[in-house]
């Protein structure tokens, strides 16, 4: 089973991060040993010293994170708007079976409103299915972030988009290509679980990985409960 991690800055991480991808790799190693592969066209992190670079640095906090497990389709400043046009070719090239997707904050913060972002979600799912009619996906809502605590219009757009995302998952779910809506735990707290009010620190990484892992286990019986808890 091939997993593809799709996301923005919370997924790619920056120099010195572990990333929730690393936590998910540990989980897959524990629950699906030998029965999975992580795929994707990129492997690197974002480097704030080279913000316009190719995101190719491999300076992860965890030296035991193997090169094949670092693969992803994530980018600093990239959202549904950017991923919808490339997900089809990526699924076709990698043979991805399961998409673990965390997007939306960047879209709503810089590029599109909630309705436009919803259109991009639906385009993303359609393109992924065109490449693999049996692809599965877990989609996370926009996660808590500091901007939503002081920017009321932005907070309203995040809330509205999360409602639209839930509706899109319900509308588009199918037995052949199931979709799940992940749930961020209520315990997710900005001071404790992020290093800047937005990007996850170690405990936040565990909680994001758990959101994906527990959704797959509960709905599909895939893997097991997320064990290395925050």
Domain spans in the chain, listed from the N-terminal domain onward: 2-12+17-39+78-220
What pLDDT is recorded for position 188?
Answer: 96
What pLDDT is recorded for position 55?
Answer: 80
What is the mean predicted confidence (pLDDT) over 153-175? 98
pLDDT digits (tens, 9 = 90+) for 85-143: 999 999 999 999 999 999 999 999 999 999 999 999 999 999 999 999 999 999 999 99
pLDDT digits (tens, 9 = 90+) for 39-75: 999 999 999 988 887 788 999 999 999 999 999 999 9
Q: Report CA-CA distances (Å) from 73 to 70, 82, 105, 228.
A: 10, 11, 16, 24
Is the model's pLDDT at 228 over the cut of 80? Answer: no
pLDDT digits (tens, 9 = 90+) for 192-225: 999 999 999 999 999 999 999 999 999 999 999 9
CATH architecture for segment(s) 2-12+17-39+78-220:
3-Layer(aba) Sandwich (3.40)
Confidence of residue 227 (pLDDT cuts 50, 70, 90): confident
What pLDDT is recorded for position 230?
Answer: 45
What is the mean predicted confidence (pLDDT) over 141-168? 97
């Amino acid at each position: 089973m091939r997993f593809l991690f799709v996301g923005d800055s919370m997924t790619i991480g920056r120099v010195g991060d572990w990333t929730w991808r690393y936590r998910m790799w540990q989980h897959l190693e524990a629950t699906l040993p030998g029965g999975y592969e992580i795929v994707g066209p990129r492997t690197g992190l974002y480097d704030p010293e080279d913000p316009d670079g190719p995101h190719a640095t491999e300076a992860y906090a965890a030296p035991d994170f193997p090169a094949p497990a670092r693969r992803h389709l994530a980018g600093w400043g990239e959202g549904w708007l950017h991923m919808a046009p490339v997900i089809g070719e990526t699924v076709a090239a990698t043979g991805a079976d399961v998409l673990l997707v965390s997007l939306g904050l960047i879209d709503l913060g810089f590029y599109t409103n909630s309705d436009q972002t919803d259109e991009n979600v639906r385009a993303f799912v359609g393109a992924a299915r065109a490449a693999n009619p049996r692809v599965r996906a877990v989609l996370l809502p926009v996660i808590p972030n500091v901007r939503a605590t002081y920017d009321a219009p932005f907070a309203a757009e995040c809330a509205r988009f999360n409602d639209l995302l839930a509706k899109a998952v319900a509308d588009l779910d199918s037995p052949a290509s199931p979709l799940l809506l992940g749930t961020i735990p209520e315990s997710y707290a900005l001071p404790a679980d992020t290093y800047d009010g937005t990007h996850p620190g170690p405990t936040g990484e565990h909680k994001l990985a758990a959101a994906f892992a527990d959704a797959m286990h509960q709905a599909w019986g895939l893997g097991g409960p997320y064990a290395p808890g925050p």
